[in-house]
Amino acid sequence: MPLEIRPITEADLRDYVETAAKAFAGTLVAKISPPSEESTQKQIAKTLKSLKEEPDLRLLKVVDTELNDKVVACAKWRINEKERTEEEIQTMLPVPDRENDSAVSIELQEYLARVRRKYMGTKPFVFLSLLVVHPDHQRRGAGAQLLQWGIEKADELRLPCFLESSDAGKPLYLKYGFEPLEVTTWDNTKYGFEGITTNTCMIRPVPA
């Protein structure tokens, strides 16, 4: 099969950041704050720091071996096998830059910090922080491969899985046994756009 899961290394970080940007194109945050070379460089530096300093972090990519190992999907998992301290959980809690971030970005980051603290807190957990598939390579099973990787780790460790899902990703997560915990919506018209944005916190309990 041409799709293979591999660890993300420092050399892959631009592909990782740019794949995420393409996957999120069209979302409310991307419309208000489109990606730029400056924001890409900042995200690369931030991710590199995390790779070096956060032992619970697992960054993965799916490559297409028939397309010269092109990165078609990426995932950011956190594997926390033991109870953690308040200081240790800070790495999974976004901290907005109130001087430079847009209002909707600040609101979203505050939401993520709240639900992660509420549903995971310091408890042992397997956490899917990010799962993105390049728009040109959707419906090939790359996202499911990355999801299954984490589920297998969770089952092996007898730990629950947690994630936050867009409406687009929700059917995949439901298929793999995730259950909704909380649904949050944002009114896009507050920010000059149409419609609403919805996010669902989901958990996959430890199988009986």
End-to-end CA distance of the chain: 32
Q: pLDDT band at 155, cuts 50/70/90?
A: very high
Please give the DSSP secondary-structure letter assigned to residue 26. T
For the four alpha carbons of 160, 128, 6 and 95, in that order, the dihedral sign comes to negative
Instruction: Evaluate if residue 100 carries a pLDDT over 80.
Output: no
**Spatial distance between the Cα atoms of 96 and 54, rounded to a whole number of angstroms:** 20
Count of CB atoms situated within 10 Å of the CB of 25: 12
Mean pLDDT of 140-165: 97
Count of CB atoms situated within 10 Å of the CB of 146: 24
Q: Are 161 and 128 in contact (CB under 8 A)?
A: yes
Instruction: Evaluate if residue 169 carries a pLDDT over 70.
Output: yes
Instruction: Evaluate if residue 1 carries a pLDDT over 70.
Output: no
Beta-strand pair 125-133/161-166: parallel
- Domain positions in the chain are 3-204
Stated as kind and residue range, the H or E segment containing 62 is strand 57-64
What's CA 51's distance to the chain center, in Å? 15
**Spatial distance between the Cα atoms of 207 and 159, rounded to a whole number of angstroms:** 9
Mean pLDDT of 159-171: 96
**Spatial distance between the Cα atoms of 73 and 160, rounded to a whole number of angstroms:** 23
Burial of 168 (0-12, 13-18, 19+ CB in 10 A): exposed
The CATH class, in words, for 3-204 is alpha beta
Q: Are 13 and 47 in contact (CB under 8 A)?
A: yes
Mean pLDDT of 166-195: 93
Instruction: Evaluate if residue 159 carries a pLDDT over 80.
Output: yes
Question: Is pLDDT larger for residue 103 or for residue 181?
Answer: 181
Token readout for 115 is 């639900």
